[in-house]
Each structure stands twice: as C-alpha cells, then as structure tokens.
Amino acid sequence: MLLPGIVILAAGSSTRLGQPKQLLEFQGTTLIQRITQIAVNAVKKPVVVILGANSSLIHSQLTHLPVQIVNNPDWPEGMASSIRIGLSALLYFSPDTEGVIFAVCDQPYITTDLFLEMISVGSKSYKPIVACLYNNVLGTPVLFKKECFDMLLALKDNEGARKVIQSHPESVEAVPFPLGVFDVDTMQDYDALQNKLM
C-alpha cells in the first residue's frame, strides 16, 4: 500500500471572500479544522499545513491536532511557493514518503474515504498521479508519487498542481469526486453551502 503524506494548502488571503475562508464554519467546525482532521484520520505519514496570510488567526485553530504547521512567508507569490514549501517540509519530516496528497480547505465535501480511495487507486496504478475528477476537470485533491517531486519543486509563481496534471495527461489516474466542483470562494458560495445544510 502506498504511504503518502498530506499537505494542506491554506496560505491564501481569501481576497474574493473578504475574510479568511479557513475560519468559516461548516458542520460544527471551521473549514481548516475540518480538512485537517480528515487528513489526520486518513494517513499515518505526516500532515503538513501551510499557512501564510492571517497565519496567527488560523494557527490557533490547529494547535490541538497532531500536524506540522509551516508558515510560508512567500505566499503572495502564489500557489507554487506553498507547494514547494509544503513538499519540502513533508520530505523533512518524512524523508521516506512515497507520495504527497495536496488538498485545500475550501472544498467542503472532501472526506477521509476520498483520501483513502485515492491512496488505494494510487497503490494499484502504475501511473504517478491520482487526481479527482469533477465537472470534466482534473484537480484537487491530487496525489503525486515521488517520481513527480522534482516537477513540483520546480513550479513557479501562481502555477499549481493543475499545471503538472495538464502537462502529463497520460500519467493521471482519475477518481470521481462530483462534489469537488463546489468550493468556497465568495460569500455567495458560502451562503449556498449553508442553505444546503438546512
């Protein structure tokens, strides 16, 4: 069985929302607490949380969880800096890791079972990337095996995991995640999420 770690990318400033999306409440907890607990439940390898904007506010949400919290001072550069720092931190805490799952906190329907399915698919497939499929798009959460690490560490500016996925479509195994299409970028998104709970 493949033994990856999980890196949660939570360094952004939530500009479109107007407040830290990491601290929005959903199902009795904040989005950042929720995704972090789900990650902890899914893997034995380290869970690394990358913070940046509003890090002091968000850090206090995670102190009770067995995770490695890493601050990204270069978060304004874009997603690539968080991916590089997150993978480097995972390799520091677990040099023998066989892969990494990148996840974000604003996809509220991620579950532990989804992570476990991705790991199971990755364990059986010869392909080095396992990405979630929703709305005919491959995206996060996404698992990269170690043969992809150099490509991830070479990402720049606002390049994200999707650039690696799109550059190597033949290397991707897809896991259906229809609810992955829903993320929280605006207050309208959050209102819609709340209404679905009623």
pLDDT digit string, tens, across residues 32-73: 999 999 999 999 889 999 999 889 889 999 999 999 999 999
pTM for the whole structure: 0.95
pLDDT digit string, tens, across residues 96-152: 999 999 999 999 999 999 999 999 999 999 999 999 999 999 999 999 999 999 999
Mapped to the 3 state alphabet, what secondary structure does the chain carry? CCCCEEEEEECCCCCCCCCCHHHCEECCEEHHHHHHHHHHHHCCCCEEEEEECEHHHHHCCCCCCCCEEEECCCHHHCHHHHHHHHHHHHHHHCCCCCEEEEEECCCCCCCHHHHHHHHHHHHHCCCCEEEEEECCEEEEEEEEEHHHHHHHHCCCCCCCHHHHHHHCHHHEEEEECHHHHCCCCCHHHHHHHHHHCC
Share of the chain above pLDDT 70, in %: 99
Domain ranges across the chain: 5-196
pLDDT over 80 (residue 17): no
Domain 5-196: homologous superfamily in CATH: Spore Coat Polysaccharide Biosynthesis Protein SpsA; Chain A (3.90.550.10)
